[in-house]
Structure 1
Amino acid sequence: MDAVSTSVEYAESGGTVDQFVDPAVLVEGLARAGRAAQRQLAKMSTTTRAEALHLGAAALRRAAPVILEANAKDVEDGEAAGLSAAMVDRLRLDPARIEAMAAAVDQVAALDDPVGRIIDESSRPNGMVLRRVRVPIGMIGIIYESRPNVTADAAALCVRSGNAVLLRGGSEAARSNRAIHSALVGGLAQGGVPAEVVQFVPTQDRAVVGAMLAASGLIDMIVPRGGKSLVARVQADARVPVLAHLDGINHTFVDRDADPAMARGIVLNAKMRRTGVCGAMETLLVDVLFPDPHGLVEPLLEAGCELRGDARTCSIDPRIKPAEPADWDAEYLDAVLSVAIVDGLEGALTHITRHSSGHTDAIVTENGDAASRFLSEVDSAIVIHNASSQFADGGEFGLGAEIGIATGRLHARGPVALEGLTTYKWQVLGSGQIRP
């Protein structure tokens, strides 16, 4: 048995791989095994891959008691270590969340397979036919923190799109991730998918992250899911293409022509439904001519949200604290919200241009011209009219699940699901043509 196999076996029994093999050798061995398995996966029919995912979802449901037991230990350790309430919320599982996880795997299985889809086709004057056809990217590395559901979501999306995946979860969710991975891979194997298609790094050594980022030629794309420091490190150090967003500094602008009742409901939901998700509103912008600004802030305050505002906002309610300059660039991921009164649509656009992270920004208005300008001029991956920013989620977009939100301008943008995990190749069909 080679060093990598020995170290993996030892780690799965509760040990550490560090004394057996260095991280670079470990990552190379896992990536090579994954690439070999991906070639087998690519030969499987779309029906076979879908059926294997349904078996994986069923295995997750059967393993719910084991997963919950593992998660309870992770949550206990996380609370003892002082994890924030937002981080604990992301970490915590319950029967409903496990069912949602399994349902997401089933939903991914039911999606149309993008692999082999002809993007476009044209004929040249010489009679040659040119096609662009979707193909898997290959070997995907996922580096993530806190959220155990990423283990299942990432695996399902990669398998459905014909990719292999190497998962490196955070130490705070190590038990939960291992339990989810074990159950899901067991179900996939029943459907004929090689276990090496979905691999889990068997150590929490942080040097493994560096090894993954340096694995050019072995890992084809890295997707980080986690806090700002993790994503910043990945983007700074990677020698492998990265698909990510750094911050979710999301704005909701309530225009003067917004319906007050609609605006109240959207604003409260956008912030307080779940404060720790990347689609949560972090800054509320209110048109100076909106007739009921107190009606927007009162429900937030009553729900326990701390508000930090500019001078005009602080005059609305004495419970609002003065904002510091840093508040306009803060991703709180908590029950804290910055609020500014702005001079109409122009003021909102100026503020968003200066402070938005390009993730998700929304407008609430009944004015069609204002909505059209906002949707056209705000340069974010997701722009929303008359709905909560909490819809910034692959499942809500009908994508089944997401591997992450991308705010860059190349390859994929917004919620990244099956299509975002494919690239394309050209197929050229000739009939004897030679170039003069």
Structure 2
Amino acid sequence: MSTIIKQCKMLKKASEALAIADTKSKNEALKQVATSLLQHQETILEANDKDVEKARENNMKESLIDRLRLTRDRINGMVESIHMIIDLKDPVWKSNNVWTLENGLTISKMTVPIGVIGIIYESRPNVTVDAFALTLKSGNCVLLRGSSTSLHSNRALVKAIKEGLKNSPISEEVISLIDDADRAVVKEMLTLNEYIDLIIPRGGKDLIDMVVKNATVPTIETGIGNCHIFVDESANIEKAVDIIENAKVQRPGVCNACESLLVHKEVASDLLPKLYERISHKVEMRGCSIAKEIIDAKPATEEDWAEEYLDYILAVKVVAGLEDAIEHINQYGTKHSEAILTENLTNANSFLRQVDAATVYVNASTRFTDGGEFGFGGEMGISTQKMHARGPMGLDELVTIKYTIVGNGQIRG
């Protein structure tokens, strides 16, 4: 029997008890884990330093190293997220839909845990804590498979989590980490339908495509972010520059960063020089032929319109108007996060209704597409599909449905 099957059997057994655990027990477990993370933060940071050092030796770009790095502030952020999840309502065994048939049968549509959730993710050790906290509160066990680049960090985090669980009413067997770097283990994980109820990949296009192509376990497609901002002709230019800078520069290595900028032709000569002055010392701008006449941008190719850079690069295109912008986004976007900057309510509403994406903004940065920012305490990922879950996945997306039917001797005629 392989190691991963042993892990899955343990999780499957543990999920039976966790599914019926009361809210008080789950919240106490989360409190103990939060305490443990703070107690072990020096060990966690030392482990993370090893991962960062190795990443630099392998010439990982700095924007991705930023995703990998843990700091005391980021560990404190993880702990704050856990406490936020503690304060959220338990999503298990709830119903807002109960009805009685003419024959007297009472039917209730109840929420129940999914069971065992596997998550495969790249270079973001904070996902380890987010995934654990959300799955525990929603009554699910979790099987974690992080990338080899964050292996030391994930081992230290899971060890701290388990230490916390030892002081709680919840078994430490509700979480398990695959620390084998062999990719064959991932392929095996994707086909363990008997033990795993759902797979969630978090990472780049290659990872997500591989999981979707090879998984027989049900999968939620997440996260590739070719996110656009469209500056309408009515936009407030000063606000627009601030928003674009934030969406591109604050953390360029994350999936909700802006990768493509579309500018209405009537305001391009006003906006682009101001934006160029603000961000060109950090950001390489690649423009269409019209944009290149206004600013000193590199020529954009067809590939640039579809690219998720995860870096200090921004594709810029001047468009004829709202319809052009929407058409471009629906052609090249990844259904993640899209924004319009406008003072025209009609244009804003058209953009909101016609753009095909999980999250659509008016006059705000795309960087807010995040479970924590949405008040979910964290996220399992950002779903870009249209079934079951879409957008940042919090507690409510980690439960499924059970119909309960209560009768009094009814038989079907």
Indicate yes or no: 2:391 matched with 1:414: yes
Equivalent position of 2:409 in the other structure: 432
Indicate yes or no: 2:51 matched with 1:55: no
Aligned partner letter, 2:284: E
Question: What secondary structure is seen at the aligned counterpart in 1 of 2:275?
Answer: helix
Aligned partner letter, 2:283: C
1:202 Cα deviation after fit: 3.4
**Percent same amino acid among aligned pairs?**
42
Aligned partner letter, 1:308: R
Aligned partner letter, 1:49: K
Distance in 1, Cα, partners of 2:204 & 2:143:
19
1:290 Cα deviation after fit: 2.1
Unpaired stretches in structure 2, ≥5 consecutive residues: none
Unpaired stretches in structure 1, ≥5 consecutive residues: 1-20
TM normalised by structure 2 equals 0.97
Question: What secondary structure is seen at the aligned counterpart in 2 of 1:400?
Answer: coil
Q: Are 1:247 and 1:359, in contact at CA under 8 Å, matched by a contact in 2? A: yes
Q: Deviations over 1:323-374 (max 9, x none)?
A: 0110000000000000001111011011111111101101111111101010
Equivalent position of 1:423 in the other structure: 400
**What does 1:75-114 align with in structure 2 at a 5 Å threshold?**
75-114=52-91
Distance 1:271 1:101, change over 3 A: same
Aligned partner letter, 1:310: C
Distance in 1, Cα, partners of 2:48 & 2:68:
8
Equivalent position of 1:260 in the other structure: 237
Q: Are 2:273 and 2:294, in contact at CA under 8 Å, matched by a contact in 1? A: no
Aligned partner letter, 1:305: V
Q: Are 2:223 and 2:382, in contact at CA under 8 Å, matched by a contact in 1? A: no
Q: Are 1:263 and 1:296, in contact at CA under 8 Å, matched by a contact in 2? A: no
In structure 1, which of residues 298, 304, 317 is the aligned counterpart of residue 276 of structure 2?
A: 298
Distance 1:231 1:321, change over 3 A: same
1:296 Cα deviation after fit: 4.8
Q: Are 1:117 and 1:133, in contact at CA under 8 Å, matched by a contact in 2? A: yes
Aligned partner letter, 1:170: S
Distance in 1, Cα, partners of 2:86 & 2:281:
38
Equivalent position of 1:251 in the other structure: 228
1:43 Cα deviation after fit: 2.4
Indicate yes or no: 2:358 matched with 1:381: yes
Indicate yes or no: 2:316 matched with 1:339: yes
In structure 1, which of residues 217, 224, 237 is the aligned counterpart of residue 201 of structure 2?
A: 224
Question: What secondary structure is seen at the aligned counterpart in 2 of 1:119?
Answer: coil
In structure 2, which of residues 108, 131, 152 is the aligned counterpart of residue 175 of structure 1?
A: 152
Indicate yes or no: 2:257 matched with 1:280: yes
**What does 1:122-271 align with in structure 2 at a 5 Å threshold?**
122-245=99-222, 247-271=224-248
Indicate yes or no: 2:19 matched with 1:42: yes
Q: How many residues align?
A: 412
Q: Are 1:148 and 1:173, in contact at CA under 8 Å, matched by a contact in 2? A: yes
Distance 1:349 1:70, change over 3 A: same
Q: Are 2:19 and 2:112, in contact at CA under 8 Å, matched by a contact in 1? A: no
1:303 Cα deviation after fit: 4.2
Distance in 2, Cα, partners of 1:107 & 1:204:
33
Distance in 2, Cα, partners of 1:43 & 1:262:
50
Q: Are 1:232 and 1:246, in contact at CA under 8 Å, matched by a contact in 2? A: no
1:147 Cα deviation after fit: 0.5
1:189 Cα deviation after fit: 2.3
Distance in 2, Cα, partners of 1:152 & 1:246:
18
Aligned partner letter, 2:187: G
1:244 Cα deviation after fit: 2.2
Question: What secondary structure is seen at the aligned counterpart in 2 of 1:43?
Answer: coil
Equivalent position of 1:316 in the other structure: 294
Q: Are 1:119 and 1:134, in contact at CA under 8 Å, matched by a contact in 2? A: no
TM normalised by structure 1 equals 0.92
